Structure 1
């Protein structure tokens, strides 16, 4: 079964890290990604640009409204995701706990709703 691990954190925290701390962070994510690959669990991964680059679209009374910025203001922002393959929720939670983002933010784990073959 596939699970989406959504990584939430304070996107301004990265700039406050020293260059050494940033290098350590990048190395930790590379190692985590490599572990997922080696286990055959990695389906996809991407980092998102900051929320300042977001554009929000919604329909109101059938008309499109386009707004600059994120949908909601919050202390933590969605910064990226891992799409993984895991046999069950417990295994997906184990991978989430190993993610470096769990140490400085929140990892939301959500099963993918598989559509029947057409």
Structure 2
């Protein structure tokens, strides 16, 4: 089953990282990439640009509106995501625990429903 690991953290915390701290965090991501590519669970991963570059599309009273930035004001923003093909929720949460955002942010693990035929099994 496909699972997405949604990475949430306050953008200002990420922006405040020193070069060494950022490199250490990226090293943890590279380790997760290596493990999941090696065992065939990796599907995709993306880092999102800061929320200031976002546009929200919302329909209200029959009119479609474009709003600069994210719609909700929250402390933590969605910074990136992984899509992994895991045998179980336990496997997916095990990978989530490897991510560097866990101490100060959170990782939401959520199964993905297919809108078309699912990809071939590994």
Is TM > 0.5 for Structure 1 vs Structure 2? yes
Which aligned pairs between 1:23-62 and structure 2 lie closer than 5 A?
Answer: 23-62=23-62
Structure 1's unaligned 5+ residue stretches are none
Which aligned pairs between 1:22-101 and structure 2 lie closer than 5 A?
Answer: 22-101=22-101
Q: TM-score, normalised by structure 2?
A: 0.89
Larger relative helix fraction: 1
> Structure 2 CA distance, aligned partners of 1:44 and 1:62?
35
Q: Which moved more, 1:91-100 or 1:47-56?
A: 91-100
Structure 2's unaligned 5+ residue stretches are 118-122
Q: Report the secondary structure of 2:75's partner residue.
A: coil
| Residue pair 2:32, 2:95 contacting (<8 A) in 1 also | no
Q: TM-score, normalised by structure 1?
A: 0.92
In the alignment, does 2:110 pair up with 1:110? yes
In the alignment, does 2:17 pair up with 1:17? yes
> What is the RMSD of the two structures over their aligned residues, measured on CA atoms?
1.3
Q: How many residues align?
A: 117
Equivalent in the alignment of 2:120: none
Runs of 4+ aligned residues of structure 1 deviating over 4 Å after TM superposition are none
> Structure 2 CA distance, aligned partners of 1:65 and 1:31?
41
